[in-house]
Structure 1
Amino acid sequence: MKLINKISKALAVVTVALLSFSCESESENVVEKYPTIVEILDADAANFSILKAALVKTGLLNTFRNPGSHTVLAPKNSAFIAAGITEASIAATTTTANIAALSRILRYHLLTEGTLAANLPNSGYVNTFSPYATSTSVSISLYINKTNGVVLNGGNTNGGASVLQSDINASNGVVHVISHVLNIPKLHNLIIANPDLTSLLGVLTSAPQAAVLTDITTTATGASNALSRTVFAPTNAAFTSASFLNGQSDANITKVLKYHIENNNRRASSSTVFVAPATPVVITPLVINTQLTGPQQTISIAAGTVNIADITAVNASIKTINIQGSNGVAHIIDKVLQPTL
């Protein structure tokens, strides 16, 4: 009888041990299930009810309820209210044009795939899902700078925002909470946002160049071709190296600026191919009529290169292409182009 009791006790100990091991193994194999983006908004309605109402109104809600991979830059209710957008105003939005305008704003807060803050560019432009004009393939750019936190389009004074809380993981992407509703930028906003373009900005915002700044600021939003603008934007280093600018009159500086602007929305179809807008045939070389009229006041881009030829023997190189604003596009270059003055 004592032997049977000992065997029973031993079996009990083994059973408890096996059950304990099994529970620990199951616990280690549990995979945390993240909520969807919509479920995250629902769980914090006090902060995100306006964003959800806007998604419902524009028919975008299912995008964030269904499987996928999205990065959502999510303004809080307070940010929407500061921008004049409330649940009541959204409910009162009924026209097709106004709903489309709200959709453009929301799409500007959506990036191409779920991206953690650590994987966003330290300093650079990304594409959003907000379309340029009526295009189904060209979208408006957003500038991200992580020098001091994560700042979008230069911060709220330039129509941008700061990231307040990053990396809220969802099963279908990532949510970053931002301080303000983002304005869809024009060309000058995208120039202001980039600290490597402060020299260009300084020239553009000087009093003698007010008309040039106005030209790239007030051209029709969403317009194409001759009503929009293409800006070839020299870097700070390019201005430092442009000794020919020393001592030039304000009138000549105006000429230099206009030599960097075209009345068109001219994008690169690839990293090395520029074509005339709406023209499928590559021009060899592509001759661009700048705003500076007269003989020898064109620039040219050789087919299959990123080299821009002016009147000098030294070409400029295009470093960043297709920075798309609502009223035109910019390309960053490493030289101040020299016209005939």
Structure 2
Amino acid sequence: MSFKLLAILLMGVFVMASCSEDDEDDNNVDPVESNTIVDVASSDDDFSILVEALIQTGLDDALANENASYTVFAPTNAAFASLLTELGVESLEDIPSETLSAVLLYHVLDGEATSSAVTTGYYSTLSAGPAEGYTLSMYIDMEETEINSRASIVDTDIMADNGVIHVIDKVVLPLSITGHAVANEGFSSLAAAVTKADLAGTLDSDEVTFTVFAPVNAAFDELFSNLGVTLDDLSAEDLSPILLYHVVDAFVPAAEVVSGYVPTLSQGQEQSLSLQISAGDGVMLNGSSNVVVTDVVATNGIIHAIDEVVLPPTVVDLALDNSDFSHLVEAIVKAELVETLNGEGPFTVFAPTDAAFEALFDALGVSGVDEIDVATLTDVLLAHVVSGNVVSGDLSNGTVPTLNSEKSLDINVDNGVVIDGEINVVLADVQGTNGVVHVIDRVIVP
């Protein structure tokens, strides 16, 4: 064998040996250790029941997703033990999987929020709410370091690859509308009023879905000051119609709020009292109460906080609260009919808009109400009022007398509601405590 051939063979042996060593090194590479939220919880014996619950509901895979980011408020074993005692069950197996899953997801926020990023307020959890696309809210009070006035945050900022864990000493449960009022100290006056009016059960029921415009404490303070009373001075009969006037029988999130009138749970003349909503740069109720917090999602509805208590309106109040009736209000005041129309009634008022009055002013060659004498103004206004609470569904073709004894109205309902052949009802059935308002597009002239 030549020297050259021997050298080539030796080189081949060396290359093969090197490749073998490289392959062996590749096979011995240590895998990258996972450190997800589930991994962190699994490594701590004090979260063993939490981990068991996640596995039981199949949520362990979701919280082990390294491509996601979560904030988890993690109950300790003692917290779960306390929950089982509270529910009167022996183990997690006694809790329906769907219920347990909803509770667990109520402890999870989408995205990583370390303690320095959490401020006092409402947060959307991953637990499904009563309407598609909306998840249940939790209230975090960072001054007291509490969630829903139930669980204390006892440790924070345990970091994982896919988020952060904050430790809590009780399992937090999804809240109803009543539960949210109780959980937030800013609604303590509302909670006390609801309890006194015996409405807690109504607003706690999962058989219905409500929208509640919830006055904050300062709103109740202002109301009591204006009335010269305290909560103790008011009976359940006094409070119930006021509180129910803040409740709408539907799920209406902020994104779906539009201007107009909505029926409430408060009753007047055996009809649902109307609440006026003005949606623009913000949302205002009855021309004065502002929505200051939106979309607090409860198990049985949604809450929007407001800065003023709204009171069930008379027909005069309905006009006062709507800026489109400014000429009508001015006329009622000048004709000294406020007291009359604030009376027991009931009344049906055909209410002309400002545009309707301005057309009348042009026809009369006057600049406004102040140029019309009181006697004429009184005759005109009384021609717009019918005795009784006549809703649009009860109107029929024919004539009806008004409070102006010399003027009757010719009503036709064949194509909408038309008065005297040319005046159209453009909005019907705005209900007040002592009557109903139908909005018209021209002034009725006797």
- TM-score range (shorter-chain normalised) is 0.7 to 0.9
Aligned residue in 2 for 1:279: none
Q: How does 1:28-177 map to 2 (within 5 A)?
A: 32-33=126-127, 34=136, 35-36=174-175, 37-45=177-185, 47-67=186-206, 68-84=208-224, 90=231, 98-122=235-259, 124-133=260-269, 135=270, 138-155=271-288, 161-177=289-305
Q: Deviations over 1:111-152 (max 9, x none)?
A: 122222332223x2111111114x2xx111111223452221
- Cα distance in 2 for residues equivalent to 1:63 and 1:24: 43
Residue type at the aligned position of 1:200? L
- Cα distance in 1 for residues equivalent to 2:272 and 2:34: 61
- Cα distance in 2 for residues equivalent to 1:184 and 1:305: 32
Whose relative contact order is higher, 1 or 2, with alpha carbons under 8 Å and at least 6 apart? Answer: 1
Distance 1:89 1:302, change over 3 A: same
Contact 2:224/2:231, CA 8 A, preserved across alignment: no
2:446 aligned with 1:320: no
Aligned residue in 2 for 1:235: 353
- Cα distance in 1 for residues equivalent to 2:373 and 2:386: 22
Residue type at the aligned position of 2:319? I
Aligned residue in 1 for 2:66: 24
Distance 1:201 1:90, change over 3 A: closer
Deviation of 1:180 after TM superposition, in Å, equals 1.8
2:340 aligned with 1:215: yes
Residue type at the aligned position of 1:255? D
Q: Deviations over 1:266-298 (max 9, x none)?
A: 1112xxxx33xxxxxxx4x2321111113xx21
Deviation of 1:80 after TM superposition, in Å, equals 1.6
Aligned residue in 2 for 1:250: 374
Aligned residue in 1 for 2:402: 290
- TM-score, normalising length: structure 1: 0.76
- Cα distance in 2 for residues equivalent to 1:202 and 1:91: 37
Q: Deviations over 1:229-282 (max 9, x none)?
A: 11101112212222454466432222111110112111112xxxx33xxxxxxx
Aligned residue in 2 for 1:337: 444
Gaps of 5+ in 2: 1-19, 40-60, 71-104, 109-124, 128-135, 137-173, 367-371
Distance 1:132 1:6, change over 3 A: same
Deviation of 1:305 after TM superposition, in Å, equals 3.2
Residue type at the aligned position of 2:426? K
Residue type at the aligned position of 1:324? Q
Residue type at the aligned position of 1:60? L
Aligned residue in 2 for 1:259: 383
- Cα distance in 2 for residues equivalent to 1:23 and 1:249: 77
Residue type at the aligned position of 1:127? P
Aligned residues: 294
- Cα distance in 1 for residues equivalent to 2:365 and 2:297: 53
Contact 1:228/1:328, CA 8 A, preserved across alignment: yes
Q: Deviations over 1:77-108 (max 9, x none)?
A: 222233229xx955676xxxx31221111101
Choose between structure 1 and 2: higher strand proportion. Answer: 2
- Cα distance in 2 for residues equivalent to 1:174 and 1:195: 28
Deviation of 1:40 after TM superposition, in Å, equals 2.3
Residue type at the aligned position of 1:332? V
- Rg: which structure is higher? 2
What SS does the aligned partner of 1:32 have?
strand
- Cα distance in 2 for residues equivalent to 1:4 and 1:38: 66
- Cα distance in 2 for residues equivalent to 1:104 and 1:175: 18
Contact 1:268/1:322, CA 8 A, preserved across alignment: yes
